Structure 1
Amino acid sequence: MLNSTVNNNIYLTYKQTAVETATPDKLLLMLYDGGIKFLRFGEKAILEKDYAAAHKWLTKVQDILTELMITLDMEQGEIPQNLFNLYEFYRYEVQMANVKKDTERLQPVIEFFVKFRDVWAEAAKKALVQK
């Protein structure tokens, strides 16, 4: 049991360090990756009727969407406002999927996360090449 606790502490320390030292581009990709993973876990939990697990995973997705919303620089014009509105909409959809245990409501959210993750990954690559 002690070895498991030590391994868990090492993993958590590694994970925290990875987040604290990541570039903004990498942090954004980590948020999208986490969102995709937690959405799929939540979807699976609903299908298996493990509603406690579904709630856990889907509230993590809501937290990620909230984090994406608060990191937007709203003084940069229309694009951040449009992203804010999208994040807010999808946060509501995840909340409703959680309340109603409806995996169909999660499908557009998963698609959004996958597409936007790919867009941000490509943008980060291009920005790196231009430096």
Structure 2
Amino acid sequence: MKKTLCASLVALTLVACASTNVSTADAPEIPNDHVIDKSLTNVSAGTLPVTFKRDTFGPAHALYRVKVFVDGRAVANIGSGEKLTTHLPAGRHVFGVGRSNSSVPEREIAVTVSEQYQPVLRLSLVADGWGGWKITESSF
């Protein structure tokens, strides 16, 4: 009985922390009231789309939001399975992710945005212990 209970708890813990990549096409845009800096989400001349998408997680993380940063500025809090589309001028930008109550990102990545490359960035949970959040480029 104890072995079964322990095995069940381990399995539940792993499922609760499991991270699943979401297709950009299937992810809904975040609600407007979760956008912190609306100036970076407005389409304007000379800007290009950069999309952030967050993995889905088990029930333990479903309601928890993470903060997205662009060039050190907090842009929005994004929920499980959601996406955020920003519009930025071409050039090199530093994108970050962190806890929703943080004023600085935990992890960052520098990417050059151009007419030829408008990145999709994946936000996911690092699975080993509390490794925090990571941000990587995504192909879909």
TM-score by length of 1: 0.25
Structure whose residues are more often strand by fraction:
2
Structure whose residues are more often helix by fraction:
1
TM-score by length of 2: 0.24
